[in-house]
Structure formats: structure tokens, C-alpha cells
Chain A
């Protein structure tokens, strides 16, 4: 690993911010100067409480919302300000799976029609328009890929269960053989039992098609299943990022530690850190200093005054904390 030159990242996000005007001259900072890179073949989990800006980040990465400031580079090309017309040829290589599996399928169109749509719009790999026969074949292959019968093609979205609909959405996202798939909480609206099936489908497809995922989720158990790397977000910023094991088992940021402690597990004797009090502060009025200091159980004076930047804890593991936690051997942590 050390000898081979590092591969070029598939997507680089530099200092990305997304601000919404909420009237009366106030601004909601949904994403606050995030930088990260997504390497080809990796599965990056984006975790955080609802409202922390993880979905907005995912949408900004695919240019589905306008970017307030910063830069998004996809396959070495700056797409931050690319007009929609010039973005369209790149769309096949970056796709999204949406959270609400029913809202993102037009209720008046049949599944076969919905799946064929991207194939009709984009030219085939040979640079020519796909023929109806090719499209038909590809649509059937896609249904097979996600484990749905071809008979379902003549049906309407509302005739399927949430899990089946999410399979259809995955099939549609994969229709154009993308390199990058941003999955925006793809399983959080599903029953727990169905969640497992869809998560496994994601993992299976990654292995078969060599996909790169950015997997947005608030469920750590799900993220642990599908991620090679995890970024933890709090109030629009990344507070900790690193390999899944490092972040989830050797957490350096008190917020990550609190998140992992909130997941029930059966380790006897380990004393988890105290549960977090209070609510996530409003992204309209963010606290000064460290953005987590209002809820941090280990808060010090320096935290209230000075905002910590991400710094390295160990190779490939960074946290934004003045006083990162030192892990014990048994997995429990300490200030």
C-alpha cells in the first residue's frame, strides 16, 4: 500500500458551504466549509443527527442544489459552477439513491418506463442512441440485478412495498453504470428487517460492480455494515473522519463517542460516557468556539473560545477536538 502511488480521488470537496436565507437577514448554514475526498472503490459513510447537513452535503456533491461557496471536483473536473447542460453528460457517472422511495418515482409512470428513462436520454457506450431492444434488455438485466421479477415492469410505483421500491430506485441509479453513488439515507424509511436486505444489496452491488459509495445515514449499525470510512457530521461540519473501525471503536471526538454509546451493545463492564443532554443547536445561531461545546460533557474554557480544526489522531484518522479522547483497550473511552 505504501509503495503504490495513491490513486486519484473520484470526488474532492473543498471548503464546501451551503447557506439558506431564512428571512429577516438571517442565514441557515446547512453545510459549513466541509472538505473531503472520496477515493475510487471506497464506501464513505456520512453520519450525524438529523439536521446536521449530511443530506445537503450529498446533494451538493451531485449538484442537485446550488453550492454557496467552495468547490466540488469530480473525476478531476471542477463541477461547482458547471451549467446543467454541461453537467448532463457527467450525470451518468454520478448517481443518487434517495431516501423517500415513493416520492422519487413519478406515480403516473410504470416501472419499466421509469427504468428506461435514463437509457433513453443518454447515449450508449458506443456513442449512439440505444435501441428499444437494447433498452428492454438492459431494463430486464437491472431488475434481475436488484432481485425483482420482470413482470413488475408493467406495474406502478404504489403497487410495491418500500423495500421493493428502494430496489427499483437502486436499479434506476445503476442503469447508467455510475462510478459514484450517493445514497441519501436509503434505508432509514424502511422496516428494520427490510433495511438489512437493502443494505446487503448495496454491499453486494459494490462488490460486483466496483462502485464507490457515499452512504448517508444516521444509523451507526447500517454505516458499520457498508462503510470502509466514516465521516461524523455535527452542525454542518465534519467533527471526525477515519476508517470505520477507528472512528466507531476508537472514537476521538466526544460527539462520536456519545453516538456510539447510544447504540445498544452487549459489552459488560464498559462504562459508556454520559448521554448527551440538550438538543442540537439551531444552524441559524451556531455557538461560538467549538460547535459541540454546548453539549460536550468534557467542555473546557478553550472550547468556548476557539474553534478546533480537524487534526490527525493517527494515520487516516482526524478529529476536530482540542482534547481528543484516549481510547482504553476494552473499547471504553475517557477524557
Chain B
């Protein structure tokens, strides 16, 4: 123990004095500027700033907000503008167009004049997009259907994320046998084609009532497609979450927390979960896009939203038989689905870039 400790006043004796002065100045400078600057924004605020600076994501967000607002205002449109409701079937009525009475259900223009064709798009307040085969206003149904479709896909995405986060975080954090069991279950679920799985589940749930203890779910409840779609996509979302958690568990800051004696559950809540949140937020819009497509497919097959409730999938099904004469019935909800799915994907990409913590702080 002969060595004498270097006192701080001799701090620079290892290097030439000029270097010592320089380094002290530079370190002082950064510390000083740290003092004068306003408190730094948190990672979420920084991500929001990054997102606002991404034009494509902002356009996508605007489109989504516009579609959602229009769908939320569906009752207003139906009652105040179109003066109808999404279930009102008008087979024998007429409307005034350019001063003439026009039949809502018109004789077919085919040579045999067999059957009736609903009125095509009028581009007026009533029957703006025409009528379907039961003489219902397609625009009103489109807006009401959007409420169902968006509600189901958002609900399914959130439910799916919660389930997947639970599975992924538990599997990734505890590893070992827990991880093996959960991962194999996910693999088995994932091995079944998604739509086939969803269709099988729906057939069971729609044909029979679902009993959850005292609760009985009837087939026409929106909750059923939400549950089915959420369940089907759990492996899709759980896998990246598990991977992220496993990487985080090996991160040096987790070892450092362990070294400080922080209990495992606290490391999970305070160090791992906040870092996984970015993965969840990024997955959210992508999952919602997938859920919207799945919902449309199920509804098209009469296994999702049940008639007479509209959804974009059921409207497409309604329009299937009119595809040659009145294509707008099927095309309008198709355009709505494509627009929303595209916007969600672009928003998801923007979120992923904006949340990248590594350059998040330096990009400004």
C-alpha cells in the first residue's frame, strides 16, 4: 500500500499541460451548455416531434382521422343529409332527380329485362353512391360499416397487442421452459393459415353461442370478430416482442440494474417494458391494417359482422351480385379498405422511424 493516491490537483500530470487545459475547457463547455439549455424532451416527445416532421406519416394520419371522423358522423349524415338509415330498405320508392321521378329499383337493362337493378350513384345527397340490391343507401351503409370495421380492427389490434405483449414479455424475460412452451404454442398457431384459423373459429363461435362463465355472447356481437382476429394474430405480434425482450434482457443496462440489486420484476417493469413499448406502438397500426383485412374477409364470408349490421366486408358481399351492373356497391368499401390499410402501413413505417431511440435524440 505504498502508493500515494493522485490528488485531484495533480489531475493532469499524465499528459502535457496544453492538452489538459483543452480537455477541461471542452468538458466544462458541454456541462455549461447542459445547464443553460431547457430540460430535454423525453423520448416520447422526441418521437412525436420526429413523426410530425415526417410528411408521409402526417398525410396518412390526416387520412385516417378524416375517415374515422366521417364514420363517426354517420348518424348525422344518414338523418340530416341522406334522410334515411342504413337499414331502410326501399324497394318500390322513387326519388326526384333533375325534376324527374326515378325508380330506386329499376328494370334491368339486359335484353330480357329480367329482375331489377338498384339505382346507381346519383352524386346527390340521397343515394350518393347508389343503392344496394335491397334499395339501401350505400353511402349511409358505407359510413355505418366503417364504424363497425374500424371499431373491430382497432379493438382487435389492441386486444392482440395486449395478449401478445403478455406472451412475448413473459416468454422473453423468463426464458427457459416457459419460453419453450409459449413459443411452441405460438408456432402451432402460426402453422395454421391465418384466415383458415379465423374461419374455423368463427364457424364455431357464430353457429354456437359462446359462454364465458355467466356471460353469453350472441353471434351478432361485434366482440366475437374482435376476439377471433385478436387471437389469430397473437403469434404474429408476440414473436417480435419476445425477440425484443430477449435482446433487452441481455442488454448491459439490465446487467447493471441486476448488479445494483434491483429485483427482477422491477427490472421488467422499469427497464424492459418501457423499451418494449416502442415495439408495441410500431406494431399497432400494422396489426390494425391486418385486422381490418381479416375483418373484411370474415364479414364477406358472413362469419364476421352479421347482417343486417353493415361492415365494409358485408357491403362488398352485398355488392358481389351487382358487380357488373352496379360496381360501385362493392368498389366503394373496397376503396375505403385499401385507403385505410395503406394509411395505416405508412403511419406504421413513420412511427417505426420516429421511435428509433438511437438517433431519436440526435436528429434534431
Contact = CB atoms under 8 A, between A and B. Distances in A.
A106 B30 contact: no
A35 interface: no
Contacts of B15: 192-193, 196
Interface in B239-262: 251-253, 255-262
A149 B14 contact: no
Contacts of B256: 96, 98, 104-105, 169, 172
B257 A95 contact: no
B260 A176 contact: yes
Given A151-B35, A192-B15, A225 B27 contact: no
Contacts of A221: 14
Interface stretch (A201-209, A232-240, A255-263, A283-291): A201-209
A265 interface: no
B34 A155 contact: yes
A196 B252 contact: no
B260 A118 contact: yes
Given A98-B252, A108-B274, A159 B260 contact: no
B19 interface: yes
Contacts of A106: 253, 257, 271, 274-275
B270 A194 contact: no
Q: Give the size range of A's interface with the partner.
A: 35 or more
Contacts of B361: 156, 158-159
A41 B1 CA distance: 8
B266 A154 contact: no
A66 interface: no
A62 B255 CA distance: 11
Contacts of B166: none
A95 B256 CA distance: 9
B11 interface: yes
Q: Give the size range of B's interface with the partner.
A: 35 or more
Nearest to B261: A91
B34 A121 contact: no
A100 B43 contact: no
B344 to A, nearest CB: 25
B275 A108 contact: yes
Nearest to B40: A155
A254 interface: no
Interface stretch (B2-10, B74-82, B202-210): B2-10
B261 A122 contact: yes
A36 interface: no
A121 B262 contact: yes
A64 to B, nearest CB: 6
A88 interface: yes
A196 B14 contact: yes
Nearest to B7: A204
Most chain B beta-carbon neighbours within 10 Å: one of A108, A156, A176? A108
Contacts of A163: 27
B6 to A, nearest CB: 4
B8 A149 contact: no
Nearest to A107: B357
B212 interface: no
Most chain A beta-carbon neighbours within 10 Å: one of B39, B256, B274, B361? B256
A118 B262 contact: yes
Interface in B248-297: 251-253, 255-264, 266, 270-271, 274-275
A284 B253 CA distance: 29
Interface in B1-46: 1-3, 5-8, 10-12, 14-15, 19-20, 22-24, 27, 30-31, 34-35, 39-40, 42-43
Given A106-B271, A121-B263, A151-B35, A206 B5 contact: yes
B5 A164 contact: no
Nearest to B14: A196
Contacts of A41: 1
B113 interface: no
A244 interface: yes
Contacts of A89: 261
B252 A103 contact: yes
A28 interface: no
A53 B100 CA distance: 92
Contact of B255 (A43, A104, A201): A104
Contacts of B264: 84
18 contacts: A42-B1, A64-B255, A91-B260, A104-B253, A107-B43, A108-B274, A117-B270, A121-B262, A122-B261, A149-B31, A160-B34, A191-B23, A196-B15, A196-B20, A200-B10, A204-B8, A207-B5, A228-B3
Interface of A: 41-43, 62, 64, 84, 87-89, 91-92, 95-96, 98, 100, 103-110, 117-118, 121-122, 148-149, 151-152, 154-156, 158-161, 163-164, 169, 172, 175-176, 191-194, 196-197, 199-201, 203-204, 206-207, 221, 225, 227-228, 243-244
Closest 10 CB pairs of A and B: A91-B261, A103-B252, A207-B5, A193-B23, A104-B256, A118-B260, A104-B252, A88-B261, A151-B35, A158-B361
